[in-house]
Structure 1
């Protein structure tokens, strides 16, 4: 769709203008998982050199990479993501040749790596979820801004210009050079390096965000494999306080429980370790990828991940430190955070950006035809009404779920062996004997793998 930059600016949002050398377009091959794995991905993504300029909604230059000169100026651009880049509208990764802040905040936030994330049917999910992360005090929450993209003179639609999950001790993930950022990743089969944990997480293995797989030594790989094994064993045997920062794991999960995240089969379950010393414990996060929030199937339930990943073992552990910390954290933040979210949403409803966003949704729909899939309506107000309805109900829902879970565990722990061998989940409901996860049988907890 050929539109001038001036006409795109009239939509009212900042504009990202990408011009590649010779007008070259990125390419990639779509790849499919081996048997027993999930997902669709891309491989052999080409890096195309060029220039990127970010203009404010008023047309002022926020950022200009300059023309491409290797290691000096300009940028390269390629497709990014897994299933998100195997469809018509692509997501992009931009790598600057010289560090800069594409969001125009100043040199403090300079980094080489940036992303243009698609914003289609998920509407306000990402924007609202990131605000919750900030209110919940996450150590680092990626900054994002709604933009329209003009790529080699072609209007490509609405995106979110975003920081990426990277080690940068000054402005992103604060780990040292001897630290690690790893991901529990179902797309391990499409990565150059991966390793197994101790706990069977179905089709997951660990992959690396830092160090880069190309730079990892044999000693580093052996160390992190051993550290993860120690951490997972400590979760299973109840000594986890030595290996994980409990509050970090609590906060990450509670964010998803408030949002009702319905997707736990994707990636984006990150763990960080600040250095290679024994005193450095694993942290959960950052929180990332919010296109599956406010799921109708989870309106009256915890987020899907609440009973998966490490959390099923932490809640079932005889060491109640994690479970008690979860309850305490919820009780300490629920009133203030939910009230602050209401204020944020009402302020956003009245903002100039909200008006511009609706115009940009319309333009994006004209370009790609995705409007039919919008979850909560075609206007910002309709979206906000839906999200506020969700949040207003969430305090009652989580209070009830937490009380039921706590009571259910206490009751089941006291249950005498009736001799019938029946199996229960942690909610006190009878389930099939081979149900995956933590179950209760003969009054004792078991882990079915």
Structure 2
């Protein structure tokens, strides 16, 4: 094999073109793209302004949990702009099992392996971050969110109406020499003055009233599952529904607002699980929360639920409002319904309570089967009516929302807020602009074509059509909500 080396005048930017001759065959171009520090990229990003991440674990296998030490380099237009040691692991439950394009959690660490707060892309310093991919199943030939922007759009709309949602940045990702495509590099929703801004709570705190972060969600595998092989987690459906007194507490009422008479913490997927709502401990974490704190927050939720059930909505007085921040519930409802996130209310759902404060909904999270993605519920009905269309799902919508929408005072607050937002932050022009800006950024920088050169393996993705479908969806959905809410 001969290698013909051309003069410097043939070098374009940081891409080196080598012509390889094998025997007497014609030369084959092989572009080698490099960062300004000599790092060879798995793909040529040309002059893209989208950050390009190169992560290396030094040959170590990436686990599900706990993580493995790795090195991350961030390039922009092939210039190294940041380098950071991280602790890396896979993330997700259903998405992890179904998708060939895996997501990742990572923690920024110092030279000793301890967590350290770091800022990326101008976002506030923290140590916990997420790399969210898109579900791509090559065997069954399907992709969730072909637009690549569902999470970005949902979170941006939430921030536009003044509600915190995870800040993020589109990136292209390479891990251990393999190009993985477009990802959303974003904050983990957690207690922090720049994220979920509630008071700290530890074992020595005497005021038990907060702050707490709960999740209505699938359960997490406990520390007893640490260091198990990836094959375990790829088939680990039972742990999604393995609730225990250590990781959660259960509502005393079923999804129909009736008292539950059967015991909690039964085996995964038992016959009556669809009736239950569990609240998992997000902050303090399950391993840190005290028994007194568990008792306090469970009693507080129970007081709220009892008040919500017992209030007479034909009168002008309400007691459930003593326990919940009504405006946060209103905004959560509106963004969830506009984005048609069928995972909301019942999984991936955050509930917070600050010290001396009330229960508040949010932030919104996990939009990968939102918008026009799924047919689980009709396109022209409320996500909150999920239980009307799906029977005996292990995770159903809690009774809270049906009950709240029976309250004319709550409905009026929704109506007033929606109509105001439609004249401002959520008008038609603004909704279209959020989509167009993201699409333009990804497409003009070549990231869409590179992503689907990797992942559209016979699936047949029409990216422009997916964007057009999303824009039509937002127009139609918001107009439908105008009519429905207008009649309240």
Q: How far has the Cα of 1:260 moved from its partner?
A: 2.4
Deviation for aligned residue 1:48: 0.7
Q: Quick one: which of 41, 49, 65 aligns to 1:5?
A: 41
- Normalised to the residue count of structure 1, the TM-score between the two structures is 0.74
Aligned to 1:148: 172
C-alpha displacement at 1:104, in angstroms? 2.4
Aligned to 1:447: none
Distance, in Å, in 2 between the alignment partners of 1:237 and 1:322 is: 15
Match of 2:391 in 1: none
Match of 1:325 in 2: 413
1:41-61 deviation per Cα after TM superposition (whole angstroms, max 9, x unaligned): xxxx241112222222x1233
Structure 2 Cα separation of the partners of residues 288 and 300 of structure 1: 22
Match of 1:99 in 2: 116
Match of 2:484 among 382, 401, 413: 401
Change (3 A) 1:262 1:200: same
The CA RMSD over aligned residues, in Å, is: 2.6
Match of 2:290 in 1: 217
The structure-2 alpha-carbon separation of the partners of 1:151 and 1:9, relative to structure 1 and needing over 3 Å to count, comes to same
Deviation at 1:367, TM superposition (A): 3.2
Aligned mate of 1:126, from 151, 154, 174: 151
Match of 2:189 among 146, 153, 165: 165
Displacement of 1:306 in angstroms is: 7.5
Q: Is the Cα–Cα contact under 8 Å of residues 146 and 160 in structure 1 kept in the other structure?
A: yes
| 1:364, distance to aligned residue in structure 2 (A) | 3.1
Mapped to 2, the partners of 1:79 and 1:190 lie a distance apart of 20
Q: Deviations over 1:7-64 (max 9, x none)?
A: 34337221111111x4101234xxxxxxxxxxxxxxxx241112222222x1233432
In structure 2, distance between residues paired with 1:292 and 1:365: 19
In structure 2, how many angstroms separate the alpha carbons of the residues matched to 1:363 and 1:266? Answer: 35
Structure 1: which 5+ runs fail to align? 29-44, 66-73, 407-449
Q: 381, 392, 415: which one pairs with 1:301?
A: 381
TM-score of the superposed pair, with normalisation by structure 2: 0.68
Q: CA deviation at 1:84?
A: 1.3
Per-residue deviation, residues 287-341 of structure 1 (Å, max 9, x unmatched): 1111122236543222346874321011124xx3311111111111113212322
Corresponding residue to 1:110 among 125, 142, 147: 125
Alpha-carbon offset, residue 252 of structure 1 = 0.5
Post-superposition offset of 1:220:
1.0
**Residue in structure 2 matching 1:313, options 403, 415, 423:** 403
Unpaired runs of 5+ residues, structure 2, are 1-31, 34-39, 110-114, 136-143, 202-210, 220-239, 256-274, 312-318, 388-396
* Conserved? CA contact 1:55–1:61, under 8 Å: yes
Deviations 1:54-86 (A, max 9, x none): 222x12334321xxxxxxxx2211111111111
Contact residue 146 and residue 161 of structure 1 kept, 8 A: yes
Instruction: Call closer, same or farther: CA 1:368–1:390 in 2, change over 3 Å.
Output: closer
Partners of 2:67 and 2:168 in 1: CA distance: 23
Report how far residue 266 of structure 1 moved.
5.8
Report deviation, 1:259. 1.9
Contact kept in structure 1, 2:443 and 2:449, CA below 8 Å: no
> What is the aligned length?
362
Deviation at 1:370, TM superposition (A): 6.1
User: Structure 1 pair 199/60, CA: closer, same or farther in 2 (3 Å)?
Assistant: farther
Number of the residue aligned with 2:162: 137
Find the structure with the greater CA-based Rg.
2
Structure 2 partner of 1:390: 473
How far is the alpha carbon of 1:347 from its aligned partner? 4.1
Tell me how far apart the structure 2 counterparts of residues 215 and 94 of structure 1 sit (CA, whole Å).
21
Does the Cα contact within 8 Å between 2:108 and 2:127 map onto a contact in 1? Answer: yes
Residues 1:204 and 2:293 are matched in the alignment: no
> Equivalent of 2:55, from 1, 4, 18?
18
- Measure how far apart 1:154 and its partner are: 1.9
The aligned counterpart of 1:251 is: 331
Aligned to 2:248: 194
Is the alpha carbon distance of 1:283 and 1:403 closer, same or farther for their aligned partners in structure 2, counting shifts above 3 Å?
same
How far apart are 1:226 and its partner, in Å?
0.9
Q: Which residue of 1 aligns with 2:301?
A: 228
Structure-2 separation of matches of 1:128 and 1:105: 19
- The verdict on how the C-alpha distance between 1:176 and 1:265 changes in structure 2, with shifts beyond 3 A counting, is closer
Aligned to 2:235: none
| Larger helix fraction of residues | 1
Q: Could you say what secondary structure the match of 1:213 adopts?
A: coil
